[in-house]
Amino acid sequence: MPSPELSVVIPVFNEVANIGPLLARLTPVLHRLTPDWEVVFVDDGSADDTLLRLRAARAADDRIGVVTFSRNFGKEIAIAAGLDHARGDAVVIMDADLQHPPEVIADFVARWREGFVMVYGQRTDRIGETPLKRTAARAFYRLFERFGETGLPRGAGDFRLIDRRGVEALRALGERARFSKGLYAWIGFRSIGVPFTVEQRLHGNTKFSYRKLFSFAFDGITSFTTVPLRVWTYIGTVISVFSILAAAYYLFRTLLFGTDLPGFPSQIVSVMFFSGVQLMSLGVIGEYVGRIFAEVKSRPLYVVAERLGGPAAVPLPPGPRRAPAPLANALVPADG
């Protein structure tokens, strides 16, 4: 079967009421863009009639594909599964609740045809969100910007189009705690934002509780920085230095004015010194754990955007630890 030009991946979790209205708005947009499209729904273990509704949609149009999970694995994993199953030259990721207006996909595709590999939707504001959520999100992004290994474009979420090259790069990332927003940025490539206005969720409520959001943020921070592991070295060093200063201070005070509480200075100084040393050694262990973590994530060392004079598309080698393409392959001259 030839691969379609455009795939749309939609993770769904208990969205029965939204699927009909979503398809009614989405398919005309796709028709206008290309006759050659597919929609891949990933049913993330819905407990309502979502799957029944999806089966009906598939029966009516076989360009609609459905992947169902055995239980709820979470949106990030559902997106990963969608990218594994989508076959298009470009893949759009969007939510099922019509907060991501399907009409924007036309702008995405226009940008993609201009040569951008990653076209992300950029929220112009965060309407319909509580001030608490907004503040928490802002704090998170500030933290990520300060310590994360990649920047995150402002207002960018999962609503985006990714060229096949980007999709393959994402699929080659072996890590299990998947913080998609970070991964999109990590793979790089020519990217551009397209502003859009977030609409109100059509039916139902958000599937993300504060608890889920917090653990999501935690995943994001911990998979893109080892700073929390390593700060202890610095904190420990500071405390140890203070203990030495305190020792000097107590020594001179005792020499000049005598002692008012015998034993106290030596106690406080040794407690400070040894807690500092312990924190430092925790930090040293953290350095190594951080390196082990980087290794077990087994991200590819680099992502090739293009090869001049080599084969245009090199298929990914199989296996969980994907080795770089063999050197001989990379050196094939342009004329064969």
Sites of contact with Mg ion (CB under 5 A): 95, 97, 99, 201
Among 27, 99, 180, 191, binds ligand UDP (CB under 6 A): 99
Cβ proximity to ligand UDP, 127 vs 238, nearer residue: 127
- The token pair that represents 140 in the structure block: 């998170």
Task: Considering only residues 183 through 222, tell me which ones interact with ligand UDP, judged by CB under 6 A.
Answer: 201, 206-208
Q: How far is the C-alpha of 270 from the C-alpha of 91, rounded, in Å? A: 61
Residue 208's binding partner among Mg ion, ligand UDP, none (Cβ under 5 to 8 angstroms by kind) is: ligand UDP
Closest distance to ligand UDP from the beta carbon of 43 (Å):
8
- The token pair that represents 68 in the structure block: 């169902």
- Asked whether the CA dihedral 200, 206, 209, 214 is positive or negative, the reply is negative
Residue 13's binding partner among Mg ion, ligand UDP, none (Cβ under 5 to 8 angstroms by kind) is: ligand UDP
Rounded to the nearest 5°, which phi and psi values hold at 75? -60, -40
Query: Under the criterion CB under 6 A, does residue 57 sit at the interface with ligand UDP?
Result: no
- DSSP state for residue 323 in the 8-state scheme: P
Where does residue 34 rank: exposed (0-12), middle (13-18), buried (19+ CB within 10 A)?
middle
Cβ proximity to ligand UDP, 15 vs 38, nearer residue: 15
Residue tagged 């993330």 (tokens): 44
Closest distance to ligand UDP from the beta carbon of 127 (Å):
12
Query: Under the criterion CB under 6 A, does residue 96 sit at the interface with ligand UDP?
Result: yes
Q: How far is the C-alpha of 169 from the C-alpha of 171, rounded, in Å? A: 5
313 by DSSP, 3-state: which? coil
Residue 283's binding partner among Mg ion, ligand UDP, none (Cβ under 5 to 8 angstroms by kind) is: none
Query: Under the criterion CB under 6 A, does residue 12 sit at the interface with ligand UDP?
Result: yes
Cβ proximity to ligand UDP, 204 vs 290, nearer residue: 204
Among 19, 66, 78, 152, binds ligand UDP (CB under 6 A): 78
Residues in the chain: 336
> Comparing C-alpha atoms, which of 193, 171, 165 is closest to residue 183?
171
Closest distance to ligand UDP from the beta carbon of 183 (Å):
16
Residues 6+ apart with CB under 8 A from 177: 219, 222, 223
Cβ proximity to Mg ion, 70 vs 200, nearer residue: 200
> Comparing C-alpha atoms, which of 73, 120, 70, 66 is closest to residue 92?
120
Query: Which residues in this chain contact ligand UDP in the complex, by CB under 6 A?
Result: 11-13, 15, 44, 72, 74-75, 78, 95-97, 99, 201, 206-208
